[in-house]
Amino acid sequence: MKNSVKAAIIQKFFAAACLLAFSDGAFAQSEAITGPSTVEIPAGWFWQGSDGIERKYAYDIDEQVYGHDISRRNRWYDIEGDKWRVHLLPYHISKTPVTNDDYAKFIKDSGHAAPDISKDEWDRQGLIYNYDTIVPFLWKKGRPPKGRGNHPVVLVSWQDAQAYVEWLSEKTGKNWSLPSELYWEKAVRGEEGTFYPWGNIYDPALLNSGDRGPFDTTPVGQYDAGPFGLLDGVGQVFEWTSTSGQAGYRFVKGGSWDDRGCGVCRPAARHARPEHLRHILIGFRVMYRD
């Protein structure tokens, strides 16, 4: 073989090797874990909790929509903290709930169990939804349901969410956590203490709730941003917080795609759920402080 031919072959081989190395490097870079996109919540005061006027409004709209006064008779909203001024230092919180695509990176890297639940396990939780209702949300072979990558992840327990933030902290070097009720509420509600992120009048056009449908999760970011640029803070899915309601229970906040009214969608509203619960109405978002 002539030297010129040999040189040409070696040159092509070298070029191909360089391209492969570059591609591998690019792929590795694309797989780097940086965490969800965040918004910064500045230091300052805000109004947390609710007062009698706000709770009465919540009971009234529930009764108007549902045609009964179960929430009022059971005093669902009376467990909310009384309205008070709180000062928080700055922090960063994920702009949207953690999505299926976000969570899939965690599943792939850590080997943690994907969001899946058997019919027997589901039935033991004692929820009103039959198993057929949850099938569209189940993961298969460690992958999210087709076409739902940009939907909030659901069927995650509080322990699952905790495992995610521990993994994310290790991967990024930042101290990620679930937000406490205080940090969650300021980020969603803003500083002025309005009933909803947009004001004091409920508007079903501004969130994914059961008032207008589609009676399912939707891709995140379909509605107007809240006071700090945060998205999907009300409606869409309830979100786990780090705040304990009682032993073995954590507060969830924000309401969901299945709620109407929507007294329970107010950022001040709260109710506790078992830490082990996996529900199609509950997801989470994450935060960190510098």
Q: Which residue has the tokens 């009022």?
A: 72
Residues 73-95 pLDDT 10s: 999 999 999 999 999 999 999 99
- pLDDT for residue 26: 33
Beta carbons within 10 angstroms of residue 51's beta carbon? 14
Residues 6+ apart with CB under 8 A from 243: 180, 181, 182, 250, 251
Q: Which residue has the tokens 């994907």?
A: 114
Residues 35-74 pLDDT 10s: 999 999 999 999 999 999 999 999 999 999 999 999 999 9
- Cα torsion 88, 93, 97, 98: sign: negative
Percent of the chain with pLDDT strictly greater than 90: 86
pTM: 0.88
How confident is residue 31, by pLDDT bands cut at 50, 70 and 90? low
Mean pLDDT of the chain: 90
Cβ-contact 160, 239 below 8 angstroms: no
CA-CA distance, 212 to 206, in Å (whole number)? Answer: 10
CA distances from 155 to 114, 171, 188, 223 (A): 9, 23, 22, 23
Residues 222-257 pLDDT 10s: 999 999 999 999 999 999 999 999 999 999 999 999
Q: Does position 123 have pLDDT exceeding 60, yes or no?
A: yes
In the CATH scheme, what is the code of domain 39-288?
3.90.1580.10
Q: What does the domain layout of the chain look like in residue ranges?
A: 39-288
How confident is residue 32, by pLDDT bands cut at 50, 70 and 90? confident
224 phi, psi to nearest 5 deg: -60, 150
DSSP label at residue 99: B
CA-CA distance, 38 to 43, in Å (whole number)? Answer: 16
